[in-house]
Amino acid sequence: VSKRAPSGGKNYRAPQAPSAHKKAAAGGEKAQPSPAVPKAESPAASAPEGASEGAVSYKISFDANTANITAEGQRQLSYVADAMTYYPQESLKMIGFAGAHESDAQAVADRRARQVLSVLVEKYGIDSRRIQIQTRVLEAARPEVAIYSYVRQ
């Protein structure tokens, strides 16, 4: 099966929600693809050695100066969980960001990344061994966690 990124990137096909696949397989309504997910902006993260690159990325947004995921961030996390469930060979590299102006920025970036990990593991049942975490403090405000998916070789 050829995989192609929704935004023109290579080697990725947008996942469909598992429930849509079940309905289609049962002869019900036609499966519809999940909405396209916006690509995360640089800095680009590279997949670990031995992994296929060129995968989709997601942005999980947070309220400023907190590790509270916004409603939009929660929706994006559901897309991530759908993809992880549908593509069991896929793994994630997450980078928790904070702006240098945020008090205790490094800790905020770490809490954001760990909050996303916690939701994926506890709410959606994703195996934590499929997820890598990094953190970065940037000069510009960036209250988010960027998620890059890749296929393990």
What is the torsion angle, in degrees rounded to the nearest 10, for the CA atoms of residue 81, residue 85, residue 93 and residue 119? 40
- Between 42 and 48, the higher pLDDT residue: 48
Residue 150's pLDDT is: 82
Q: Return the SS3 of 129.
A: helix
Q: What is the 3-state secondary structure (H, E, C) of 66-124?
A: CCCECHHHHHHHHHHHHHHHHCCCEEEEEEEEEECCCCCHHHHHHHHHHHHHHHHHHHC
- Between 146 and 26, the higher pLDDT residue: 146
Structure token pair of residue 65: 């100066």
- Between 24 and 115, the higher pLDDT residue: 115
Q: Give the residue-averaged pLDDT of 106-127.
A: 98
**Residue 44 pLDDT exceeds 70:** no
Residue 55's pLDDT is: 62
Range 38-152: architecture per CATH: 2-Layer Sandwich (3.30)
pTM of the model: 0.66
Q: Return the SS3 of 62.
A: strand
